[in-house]
Structure 1
Amino acid sequence: MNIHDDWATPFERGNGNQTTTWRDCIDFHQRLARAFPSWLRFDEAGRSDGGVPIHVGVFSNDGVFDPPAVKAAGRSVFFNNNGIHPGEPEGVDACMALLRDLCLDPARRAALGRTVLVFIPVYNVDGALNRHDTSRVNQNGPEAFGFRGNARHLDLNRDFIKADSLNTRSFAQVFTRWDPDVMVDTHTSNGADYQHVVTLIATQPDKLGGRTGEHLRETMLPALYADMAERGFPMCPYVNPLQEIPDDGIADFLDSPRFSTGYAALHHTIGFMPETHMLKAFEARYHGTRALVEAALAHTVAHGDAIRAARAADRAAIAGGAPVALDWSLDRQRSRPFRFSGFTAVHEPSRLGSYQRLRYDRGAPWVKDIPYFDRYRTTVSAVPPRAYLLPQAWHDVALRLQGHGVPLQRALRAGRVPAEACRITRFDKRRMPFEGRHLHDVLEVETVMRTADVAEGDWLVPLGGPHDRFIVEVLEPLGIDSFFRWAFFDSVLDKKESFSDYVFEDEAERLLDAEPGLRARFEAWKAEHPDLLGDREAVLGFIFLAAQRYAEPEWRLYPVLRLLELPATLFSAED
């Protein structure tokens, strides 16, 4: 197809090493939407932290642009997200050309069938406007590009669950409104050197689970790898080496919900993150990205009915009480061979220091089978309750849930309900902040039954609907990316009162005599920690924390409660 000059993209008009600016990209899509309103809608979806509009486009070859109508008709939805890392822009340019071709080419429109294409042309708009050529030290072009961080210096591909940025909240509204069946979020890779142009992170199939995970592993991934080879881009899994170099084997990337594909999995959506190799020419990366998006779109068109049925079955299983996996570990006992095209790794003395440097010799390519570890085992799971009770004091959590599309109910009056509560018995907070928060890495909890007091205005988070998996994974503290791990409840981890040692010394002796079992626990602690007996704060601190007399019932008590039965009259749906 000959492209009229009026519809050539900046990439197509350039030298193969140029990417569009944010302004040119938005103008291009707006012009397309004005020229082809029967098929394309292009609107503002929200604002970024920097106050810049975030746009969303919808292409439907029969002009149906309403999500409920699309879903009611049993139509598939394919979602393409671009520019989350604006220094990795090939997806931005590929999306422009793809939409242009759909508008101009009747055959391409017909091939789309009843599938609706939803796209965000540039997600991290703040980073896209922070344009230069200096922030990607390992990348081969383009000539100028955007920056990874947004206006708050957040990496948006770590923010999907915690939603600290306005960008993420805008994204969540688009995503939950359309509830896509398949998502492709375009990226550029970093790491080892090899011959492949395109590598792929897919939603980890064992983590995705259920019938949707089976379709991904057994049907969609083999089809995508075959299709990409036919398109001239033999693909490999994302190169996540077990050791220093890929020769020793690679492992599936565990995409927790902080990442786009892990977030998609919380909605039973199949997600893909193509990672083109940063050392390949930008032109090759552009064409490889477009090939992957088109291959995934074609599979969605051909297998949309099967994917939607699998998603519905998996949602019904959780609504029926099936356990929800919360954390996973790589199965190092299971691997399969993958035919990998690499370069010979060379270790040689560095000219900068007294160490051995790693270099890949592009003059010595090789093709051979390497071990590919693509299986994960569930390590933690939870049986869903009937609902969660969220005290209104945690309004920031309620707002996050609502922002992700989770329906909540409010208590109309005070009351009491039986509930399961858990106390945090051990946690490990990272010393350095990660994307604006101190993440918790190690957790141990103990669960107790209690009668919970409900205050007027408290929130009920009911289960039994399409958001169940999302709710369970973020509200169970042991979830790999739960709200607790992301420090939304850190105030309960601090004991509010302390002691003055010269006063508490006498009181501690009295407590050891007065409280049953306290002296025995103290003697056991002394036997385990003889090196601490000379530390006044450690000795008195143990007695203070172990004594029931000065216990704070709320200390380390996780405030979200599990309800095994729904209270009949306390709550009503929010407006």
Structure 2
Amino acid sequence: MKSYKQSLLLFSICLFSLQVAAQDFLPPLIPWSGKSKSLIAEPTDPWITPGEKSGLTESPSYEETMAWLEKLNESSPYISINSIGTSEQGRTIQMVMVSKDQDFTAEELSTSKKPLILFQAGIHAGEIDGKDAGMMLLRDINVGEKLELLDYANLLFIPILNVDGHERKSAYGRVNQRGPKIMGWRSNAVNLNLNRDYTKLETAGIQAIAKVIKDYDPDLYIDIHVTDGADYQYDVTYGFVETGGYSPEISSWLATNFKPEVDQALKDQGHIPGPLLFAANGEDFTEGNIAFSFSPRFSHTYGDIRHLPSILIENHSLKPFEQRVLGTYVFLEQAIKSVGNHFEELQAAISSDQDQPKESIVVKFGFRDTPADSVEFLAVKSEKVTSELTGNEYVAWLGEPDTQLVPSILMDKPVSSVPVPKAYWVPVEWNAVIQKMKEHGIEMEVLTEPKELNLEFSTVNEFKMVSQPYEGLMRFQSFDLDKNYRKVTLQPGSVRVKTDQALGELAVILMEPESVDSFFQWGYFNTILSQTEYMETYVMEPMIQSMLDKDPALKTRFEEELAKDEAFAKSPRRIYRWFYEQTPYLDQNWKVIPVGREW
């Protein structure tokens, strides 16, 4: 029998073998040697970053990162580091502010004549490219030869947003990603995905980001990720809401002024920029690429509905960590220049989108009836292989460049819209929802004394819940609604949310139950579905007989119900239920969503 030490040694050897072999499982690598390699500091440079010391094969820990940034902070008058929140495990979420004018307060940066760029890394902590690229860029700005970048813009840099996930680090985080050697975890310490949290604000990280956006009012927001999925030649893929969104002028500015310059800068440095890529068949791109319509629970679409120019970077996971970090550096450097050079046009676009009329708002988009034109796609050759294990076919990537024409499948067709009321009213007892709206920065009036109002409310009829939680909450699979006016008396602390405000569209998305990111669909009003008062049968029987004797119209309706629904006629429970619903004893608040519309 093996000893405990022998077993432990054997287990360690197996783990080590798996770690070494994991990279061997990945598709063949296309060699790369871009000009951006010159951005890497020399080994003797006193300001070499921890990642560069490893040859950009490793990324520093939370403590190592913050220690290096604090050292940079002490050496430069243009940097200040500020805590923006505390994680679920008690770690500080830090933000680096960079300003040549030494503007470091929210008031100074939000009112500066220079644009303000916010870029964050590690919202999914295993996808950490932005942290190392940001450290290199800040080094070159503050102690290198790129101080002139601060003539273009002021910067906010969050090196690690999901700090707890970052410290849940191991060599076994993302088997489909080429480095770094040790990676953090996708979700936070309570297993919530921060990039599904922008509307519901359940996580410390996104609560911190919402406050930064509200207080600092940035002009461009960049969220840096790494992909999953298929192989292709592009190394830096990124996107924004181009069509089917809430900020058309901003989308036009990003497409016309920003994207061509950033793409050219990446190409000049040996990178291959591309759009966000999602294979229509889930495997390869032979059936096309889907341009998804994301809801505002995601970073870049949350920015879109706030009229904040927002970009989602998805570096390609199958490219080496070094290549991805350098591509991110080039992207960020050019982003600073492009925003600075076209700031006046950007401000005009933001203003135009904020002032657009709000008569109705699309709450759901779907696919176009036919695909858009085919586009040239820089693919990697693949073949279908029959698995000896399962007998099914799977895609094997061959590591050889290929150019294909593939359909572009757009998901920007309006499917469902809602009219926009003058205002919404939320009773004080739903304070959790009120507080979330405040965190978003939505303007509201607060009642100081009771007020009687006649408002329109939605009532839930038939509904079905999902079978398991999503992001810790029970959402709806399906439901149908009725809308009716009701007189209510709201107590002090209740709020009126007008829709004629800068964040009016966001208010509609959160308030209207048809919206997939409404507080209703996220489950914050689920308690309205519980019935807490009932009527006993021995009371129902004589009451029903009295009701039928006194109300011939009721008797006629009942007989019609019996005739048209055989199952109803055979169900005493449903018959009693039907009569109970005709009485004033039924809970008048049951299934009524507590958001009143003022028209």
Match of 1:302 among 341, 360, 365: 341
What's the CA shift string for 1:195-243, capped at 9, x where partnerless?
A: 2222223234321333222223444334443443333222222221222
Contact preservation (8 Å) 1:250, 1:373: yes
Equivalent residue, structure 1, for 2:68: 28
Shift of 1:377: 2.0
Q: Using the TM superposition, name which of 68-77 and 167-176 deviates more.
A: 68-77
Match of 2:298 among 259, 268, 286: 259
1:193 counterpart = 2:228 = no
Shift of 1:186: 0.8
CA distance in 1, matches of 2:552, 2:219: 59
Distance 1:105 1:363, change over 3 A: closer
Distance 1:512 1:546, change over 3 A: farther
Match of 1:209 among 237, 244, 247: 247
Equivalent residue, structure 1, for 2:356: 317
Shift of 1:490: 0.9
CA distance in 1, matches of 2:293, 2:558: 42
Contact preservation (8 Å) 1:204, 1:253: no
Equivalent residue, structure 2, for 1:408: 444
Q: Using the TM superposition, name which of 540-549 and 437-446 deviates more.
A: 540-549
Shift of 1:105: 3.4
CA distance in 2, matches of 1:451, 1:502: 33
Return the letter of the residue paired with 1:563.
E
Equivalent residue, structure 2, for 1:181: 219
Shift of 1:529: 5.5
Shift of 1:59: 1.0
Equivalent residue, structure 1, for 2:402: 366
CA distance in 1, matches of 2:88, 2:192: 10
Q: Using the TM superposition, name which of 492-501 and 180-189 deviates more.
A: 492-501
Residues matched between the structures, number: 558
CA distance in 2, matches of 1:336, 1:169: 40
Equivalent residue, structure 2, for 1:131: 169
In structure 2, the residue corresponding to 1:34 is in which secondary structure?
A: helix
In structure 2, the residue corresponding to 1:451 is in which secondary structure?
A: strand
1:211-360 superposed matches below 5 A: 211-244=249-282, 245-318=284-357, 321-353=358-390, 355-360=391-396
In structure 1, the residue corresponding to 2:469 is in which secondary structure?
A: coil
TM-score, scaled to structure 2: 0.86
Distance 1:531 1:454, change over 3 A: closer
Equivalent residue, structure 1, for 2:130: 91
Contact preservation (8 Å) 1:323, 1:384: yes
Contact preservation (8 Å) 1:176, 1:404: yes
Shift of 1:317: 2.1
Q: CA RMSD in A?
A: 2.7
Equivalent residue, structure 2, for 1:552: 587
Q: Using the TM superposition, name which of 253-262 and 218-227 deviates more.
A: 218-227
Distance 1:153 1:338, change over 3 A: same
Return the letter of the residue paired with 2:522.
W
Return the letter of the residue paired with 1:343.
V
CA distance in 2, matches of 1:173, 1:398: 15
CA distance in 2, matches of 1:403, 1:137: 37
CA distance in 1, matches of 2:225, 2:551: 60
Equivalent residue, structure 2, for 1:117: 155
Distance 1:500 1:364, change over 3 A: farther
1:445 counterpart = 2:484 = no
1:140-155 superposed matches below 5 A: 140-155=178-193
1:17 counterpart = 2:57 = yes
Equivalent residue, structure 1, for 2:16: none
What's the CA shift string for 1:141-192, capped at 9, x where partnerless?
A: 2210111121212111111211112222122111211222211111111112
Contact preservation (8 Å) 1:236, 1:340: no
Match of 2:206 among 159, 162, 168: 168
CA distance in 2, matches of 1:452, 1:519: 31
Return the letter of the residue paired with 1:350.
S
Distance 1:280 1:508, change over 3 A: farther
Q: Using the TM superposition, name which of 546-555 and 395-404 deviates more.
A: 546-555
CA distance in 2, matches of 1:506, 1:100: 84
Larger radius of gyration: 2
1:79 counterpart = 2:118 = yes
In structure 2, the residue corresponding to 1:203 is in which secondary structure?
A: coil
CA distance in 2, matches of 1:520, 1:386: 41
Q: Percent identity?
A: 26
CA distance in 2, matches of 1:310, 1:516: 64
Unmatched runs of 5 consecutive residues or more in structure 2: 1-38
CA distance in 2, matches of 1:112, 1:361: 43
Contact preservation (8 Å) 1:501, 1:540: no
Contact preservation (8 Å) 2:424, 2:496: yes
Equivalent residue, structure 2, for 1:471: 507
CA distance in 2, matches of 1:414, 1:204: 45
Shift of 1:328: 1.5
Distance 1:534 1:426, change over 3 A: closer
CA distance in 2, matches of 1:513, 1:216: 71
Contact preservation (8 Å) 1:343, 1:360: no
CA distance in 2, matches of 1:137, 1:455: 54
Contact preservation (8 Å) 2:123, 2:194: yes
Return the letter of the residue paired with 2:263.
Y
In structure 2, the residue corresponding to 1:248 is in which secondary structure?
A: coil
What's the CA shift string for 1:357-380, capped at 9, x where partnerless?
A: 312331554202211123502233
In structure 2, the residue corresponding to 1:6 is in which secondary structure?
A: coil
In structure 1, the residue corresponding to 2:527 is in which secondary structure?
A: helix
Shift of 1:93: 0.7
CA distance in 2, matches of 1:26, 1:18: 16
